[in-house]
Chains A and B, each alone.
Chain A
Amino acid sequence: MTGDEAKNLPLADLHRKAGARFGAFAGWSMPLTYPAGVMQEHLHTREHAGVFDISHMKLIELSGPDTGALLDRACPLTSAALPLRQSKYSLLLNEQAGILDDVIVTRLADTRFMMVANAGNAVADEAHLRMLANGLDVVIDPLDRVFLAIQGPEAEAALGRIGNETAGLTFMHGIEPRNGWFLTRSGYTGEDGFEISLSETDARVLLDELFSNDRVMWVGLAARDSLRLEAGLCLHGSDITPDTNPVDAGLMWAVPKSVRSEGRFVGAAALRDFAARGAVEKRVGLKPEGRQPVRAGSSLFDADGNSVGRVTSGGFGPSAGHPVAMGYVAAEFAAVATRLYADVRGTKLPVDVHSLPFTPHRYRKG
């Protein structure tokens, strides 16, 4: 294994006991698959309920009188417009409007918010927030908790039968149902589901109870990736990076109109310029014609052999039943059904631009 210097999850013993195979990701030794295998884990999540250990991701609690001001500076959003309990997908941008990270921000109280950041960016995100908070009255508190995702059509029932009622909670809302718990109806699989952060002790009890239900199974990072790719969701570091901007990435839906014109967030001027110019390249879904997967790093060509883009994520979609990929193509090639060719080890494989997601989202929007 490559994980010599990788950090172990607090629940690593449970994963070992469950027969997980581990691999390094973003500095963590992560369970990639369990004995059921990525295909079964993926399909089980879409059909029943899968449990993911996402403790590598970072929760950062923000509180104090100036928290709203910090968020309005750090992210292209208006914190005052965020209702209590509402979660919002947002971005941390640099001055060039490059995407430093994609985050979820939830309002917990008037002057208290939770931000969920990606594992690989967590340290840089925290430093970035502290820099922006200079002179502001804000407490930035990275939490040390276990973080679990329970995803799939049976997630609500699985939590309900062990006494965690969530029926009143709709997609992209978050609550603190118990002391030290943060629970949102959200996820990164395209399915209905929940993310719960809690103490290690509480997590072990919760998992014991959850796994007394045979419709619930552990799902590893490999299936988390195939699920999010089918759902058309971006992986930071692959599909979005500091070198991509929200216009080309097709993420302007996350930036409210008033914020686009009046926002004073980091990168606002650059983002306005990108928006005025329009997308030069676009993030699109890509469906290889045959059975052979097309993976991140492949170059894309038009029928005349001109380079027109690149694949940023790719693999096989167990629910789609065919290979699925995502990438960037020059704007004039971004129309659905445009035939392109992906270079795979020197062979040009036909791929068609495909709408995203590949698998319809099944969020509980209430």
Chain B
Amino acid sequence: MATIYYTEDHEWLHVEGEIATVGITDYAQQQLGELVFVELPEVGKSLKKGDTAVVVESVKAASDVYAPIDGDVTEANTALASDPTLVNSAPAGDGWLWKMKLSDKSQLDGLMDETAYNAHTS
């Protein structure tokens, strides 16, 4: 059964078994504005919580997206290479960023659920 978690840095994690799909929230994409480039991680890359996993670039600025937990990258959303605006149009869907295999599921305990996240952004 899948569970969705949120971070204070406006990322979401969709966790199914050992695999988490990570993206940024609608709130985050609105703050960034239309994306023109997404620098994706290489598959197999080992990420520690807090590492820069992805860089999202708008007209004006480059912003880091941090690994919310430890794990190895299993897949990156290569569709973003040709259309980075998927992150704007479908941040919680086709605009996902990367998937990772969780090293330590207990790290999920420190994350927010949707209710807590909504309170965080309001």
Binding site for B on A (CB under 8 A): 21, 32-33, 37-39, 42, 222-223, 225-226, 291-293, 295, 315-316, 318, 323, 345
Determine whether the beta carbon of B36 is less than 8 Å from that of A323: yes
- Which secondary structure dominates chain A's binding surface? mixed
Distance (Å) between the CB of B88 and the closest chain A CB? 9
Determine whether B57 belongs to the interface, using a CB cutoff of 8 Å to chain A: yes
Bound CA–CA A323/B61 (angstroms)? 12
Instruction: Report 8 cross-chain contacts, Cβ distance below 8 Å, ordered by A residue.
Output: A38-B60, A39-B33, A39-B59, A222-B60, A223-B59, A293-B62, A295-B62, A316-B36
Distance (Å) between the CB of A56 and the closest chain B CB? 17
For B40-82 the 0/1 string (1 means CB < 8 A from A) is 0000000000000001011111100000000000000000010
* Known A-B contacts A39-B33, A293-B37, A316-B37; A226 and B62 likewise in contact (beta carbons under 8 Å): no
Determine whether the beta carbon of B57 is less than 8 Å from that of A33: no
Which among B34, B39, B57, B62 is the interface contact of A37 at CB below 8 angstroms? B34
For B12-34 the 0/1 string (1 means CB < 8 A from A) is 00000000000000000001011
Which among A291, A316, A345 is the interface contact of B59 at CB below 8 angstroms? A316
Please give, as numbers and ranges, the residues of chain B lying within 8 Å of A226 by CB-CB distance: 59-60
Binding site for A on B (CB under 8 A): 31, 33-34, 36-37, 39, 55, 57-62, 81, 84
Residue of chain B at shortest CB distance from A220: B60
Distance (Å) between the CB of B114 and the closest chain A CB? 25
Please give, as numbers and ranges, the residues of chain B lying within 8 Å of A315 by CB-CB distance: 59-60
Determine whether the beta carbon of A42 is less than 8 Å from that of B57: no
Which among A38, A293, A295, A323 is the interface contact of B34 at CB below 8 angstroms? A38
With A291-B37, A293-B62 known, 15 other A-B pairs at CB within 8 A are A37-B33, A38-B60, A39-B34, A223-B59, A226-B59, A226-B60, A293-B37, A293-B57, A295-B61, A316-B36, A316-B58, A323-B36, A323-B37, A345-B39, A345-B55
Of listed B58, B60, B61, residue having the most chain A CB within 10 A: B60
Of listed B34, B39, B55, residue having the most chain A CB within 10 A: B34
Bound CA–CA A33/B31 (angstroms)? 10
Determine whether the beta carbon of B57 is less than 8 Å from that of A38: no
Bound CA–CA A293/B84 (angstroms)? 13
Distance (Å) between the CB of B51 and the closest chain A CB? 12
Which among A33, A292, A318, A345 is the interface contact of B37 at CB below 8 angstroms? A292
Please give, as numbers and ranges, the residues of chain B lying within 8 Å of A222 by CB-CB distance: 33, 59-60
* Known A-B contacts A316-B37, A323-B36; A38 and B59 likewise in contact (beta carbons under 8 Å): yes
Bound CA–CA A291/B62 (angstroms)? 13
Determine whether the beta carbon of A316 is less than 8 Å from that of B57: yes
Distance (Å) between the CB of A314 and the closest chain B CB? 10
Determine whether the beta carbon of B33 is less than 8 Å from that of A291: no
Distance (Å) between the CB of A40 and the closest chain B CB? 8
Distance (Å) between the CB of B35 and the closest chain A CB? 9
Please give, as numbers and ranges, the residues of chain A lying within 8 Å of B60 by CB-CB distance: 32, 38, 222, 225-226, 315
Of listed B37, B39, B55, B59, residue having the most chain A CB within 10 A: B59
Please give, as numbers and ranges, the residues of chain A lying within 8 Å of B31 by CB-CB distance: 21
Residue of chain B at shortest CB distance from A229: B59
Residue of chain A at shortest CB distance from B60: A222
Bound CA–CA A315/B36 (angstroms)? 10
Please give, as numbers and ranges, the residues of chain B lying within 8 Å of A292 by CB-CB distance: 37, 39, 57
Determine whether the beta carbon of B33 is less than 8 Å from that of A38: yes
Please give, as numbers and ranges, the residues of chain A lying within 8 Å of B58 by CB-CB distance: 38, 316
Counting from the closest, the 8 A-B pairs by CB-CB distance are A316-B36, A222-B60, A316-B59, A39-B34, A38-B59, A292-B37, A37-B33, A291-B37
Bound CA–CA A42/B34 (angstroms)? 12
Please give, as numbers and ranges, the residues of chain A lying within 8 Å of B57 by CB-CB distance: 292-293, 316
Bound CA–CA A226/B36 (angstroms)? 13
Determine whether the beta carbon of B36 is less than 8 Å from that of A33: no
Bound CA–CA A39/B59 (angstroms)? 7
Which among B39, B59, B81, B84 is the interface contact of A42 at CB below 8 angstroms? B59
Distance (Å) between the CB of A152 and the closest chain B CB? 18
Please give, as numbers and ranges, the residues of chain A lying within 8 Å of B37 by CB-CB distance: 291-293, 316, 323
